[in-house]
Amino acid sequence: MESNSIAHAMVLYVFQLGVILIAAKLAGEFTERAFKQPGVLGELIVGILIGPYLLGSRVHIPGLGAMFPLPPEGAHIPVSAELYATAQLAVVLLLFLAGLETDLEQFFLYLRPAVLVGVGGVILPFFFGAWLTSFWGMTDTWTHPEALFIGAAMVATSVGITARVLSEIKRLNTPEGVTVLAAAVVDDVLGILVLAIVLSIADQGKVSAGEVTFIALKAAGIWVVLLALGLLMANPFVRWIKKFQNRGAAAALAFSLGLLFAAIAEMFGLAMIIGAYAAGLALSKTDYAQELIEELEGLGSILVPIFFVVMGMLVNVQETTHALAFGMVLTLLAIVGKLVGCGLPALASGFNTLGASRIGVGMLPRGEVALIVAGVALSRGAIPQDIYGVAVLMTIITTLLAPIFLVPLFRNTRSGLRVPAPALEEKEV
């Protein structure tokens, strides 16, 4: 019986992967041709359409059942563990490639403005989310756990969407592109800190300054250690993998480093994508970086669309109809929070209005990180189902809007810096 169950699950999983890839490529092609928008937008939308909450649970395959069955009661991830794991593998590869394509000198050059952008992108959205929940009458005060969890969901930035768009339009290594990627690292560290504080308040009713300091130092320290370790071992590691003669060995071993760094980051409370980005960034200055990019891009063109389709599948459209007015206002504040919270520090750091707009829009998508925060809150009973739906609504709208506005902003060939830096400006990857 158990053997038959495993076989059925595997056949369904393989079938689902086939459907996802076909849907992703068709939707991506249609979006690019018909609307001149990045394929990622079509992949997200088609994920919503074929997901379990819409067509997926209604289309039945003989011998397999529902194509994408509805999740069990209480489950927060509406797809199988195998499919979700594949999506996470895909986004790890995406950020590893983004790290490889990033100019390390530019990364450090724009690290200071990135820190300011990251901090601004946390403070203002968090305040907006917590304040609106209280103002709307859902809680007595903005310090109530329900309000704090909404604020925490507003903080997160899903850099995977922006990285994919910037890579497709060859603007990953612009000052704005590097600033967004570095700021997303800061965002993740601060987002983990905010979530930990909110969890402590929800569980204990308070949080100590010592606990906050420890969490902050641990989160920041782990990323610094990972990057430093990667930089120290990058050249010896590349010399070693270049000795392998069998085809694809070097690329496989390099990606394995990204996987290990991703796992270590997750083990210490950071997102896997941050560890993967650190590994790719460390290898970006080696003489083998371009060859690794070329060898891994083929794998990325297959795996990465799976992530974005699965991201769309996480959206329960029906739940977003509850508390719709609150959800729309929250989404508006989520947009303003990132545009202003990230844009003003960018303006103060040497970017002009165009550059600051690019950075603000690049930091806009909330993606899977916000869904995870909302899922944690729901599982702890801190927020009701309709507020979870609102968080999902905010997540999907901000995720969809980013590619739509980011591409036109970068089509404008003007410099995003007040004082252009010719040696670094608009460097294609």
Q: Could you tell me the pLDDT band of residue 368, with boundaries at 50, 70 and 90?
A: low
Question: How many Å apart are CA 212 and CA 426, to the nearest integer?
Answer: 39
The predicted-structure confidence for 258-279, as pLDDT tens digits, reads as follows: 999 999 988 887 778 888 989 9
Looking at the structure, give the CATH architecture of the domain made up of residues 84-411: Up-down Bundle (1.20)
The whole-angstrom distance between residue 111's C-alpha and the CA centroid of its chain comes to 19
φ and ψ at residue 351, rounded to 5 degrees = -90, 150
Is the pLDDT assigned to residue 4 strictly greater than 80?
no
Neighbours of 39 (CB within 10 A): 23
Q: Could you tell me the pLDDT band of residue 55, with boundaries at 50, 70 and 90?
A: very high
Is the pLDDT assigned to residue 112 strictly greater than 70?
yes
Contact present, 190 and 270 (Cβ < 8 Å): no
% of the chain beyond a pLDDT of 70: 92
By the 10 Å C-beta count (0-12 exposed, 13-18 middle, 19+ buried), 156 is classed as buried
Greatest mean pLDDT among 142-151, 302-311, 395-404 lies in 302-311
The predicted-structure confidence for 184-228, as pLDDT tens digits, reads as follows: 878 877 877 787 778 777 766 666 677 777 777 777 788 889 999
* CA neighbor of 180 nearest in space, from 297, 355, 352: 355
Query: Average pLDDT of 70-87?
Result: 86
Contact present, 11 and 61 (Cβ < 8 Å): no
Amino acid 363 reads M
Selected residue with higher pLDDT from 156 and 111: 111
pLDDT at 423: 42
Bridge partners of 65, per DSSP, are: 61
Amino acid 358 reads R
Q: Could you tell me the pLDDT band of residue 385, with boundaries at 50, 70 and 90?
A: low
By the 10 Å C-beta count (0-12 exposed, 13-18 middle, 19+ buried), 195 is classed as buried
Is the pLDDT assigned to residue 18 strictly greater than 90?
yes
Q: How far is CA 222 from CA 186, 279, 305, in A?
A: 12, 13, 29
Q: Could you tell me the pLDDT band of residue 239, with boundaries at 50, 70 and 90?
A: very high
Mean residue pLDDT across the chain: 86
Question: How many Å apart are CA 343 and CA 354, to the nearest integer?
Answer: 10
pTM, two decimal places: 0.81
The predicted-structure confidence for 307-362, as pLDDT tens digits, reads as follows: 889 888 877 777 777 678 898 999 999 999 999 999 999 999 999 999 999 999 99
| Spatial CB neighbours of 335, under 8 Å, sequence gap ≥ 6 | 364, 398, 401
Greatest mean pLDDT among 56-65, 145-154, 382-391 lies in 56-65
Q: How far is CA 3 from CA 7, 8, 188, in A?
A: 6, 9, 41
Q: Where are the domains of the chain?
A: 84-411
pLDDT at 302: 95
Alpha helices, DSSP H, located in 36-110: 39-50, 81-101, 104-109
Query: Average pLDDT of 11-23?
Result: 97
Question: How many Å apart are CA 66 and CA 256, to the nearest integer?
Answer: 35
pLDDT at 426: 44
pLDDT at 376: 67
The predicted-structure confidence for 164-194, as pLDDT tens digits, reads as follows: 888 888 888 889 999 998 888 788 778 777 8
Question: How many Å apart are CA 341 and CA 385, to the nearest integer?
Answer: 29
Is the pLDDT assigned to residue 11 strictly greater than 70?
yes
| Spatial CB neighbours of 301, under 8 Å, sequence gap ≥ 6 | none
* CA neighbor of 111 nearest in space, from 57, 49, 180: 180
Contact present, 79 and 310 (Cβ < 8 Å): yes
Query: Average pLDDT of 288-309?
Result: 93
Is the pLDDT assigned to residue 295 strictly greater than 50?
yes
What 3-state class would DSSP assign to 66?
strand
φ and ψ at residue 61, rounded to 5 degrees = -105, 125
Neighbours of 13 (CB within 10 A): 16
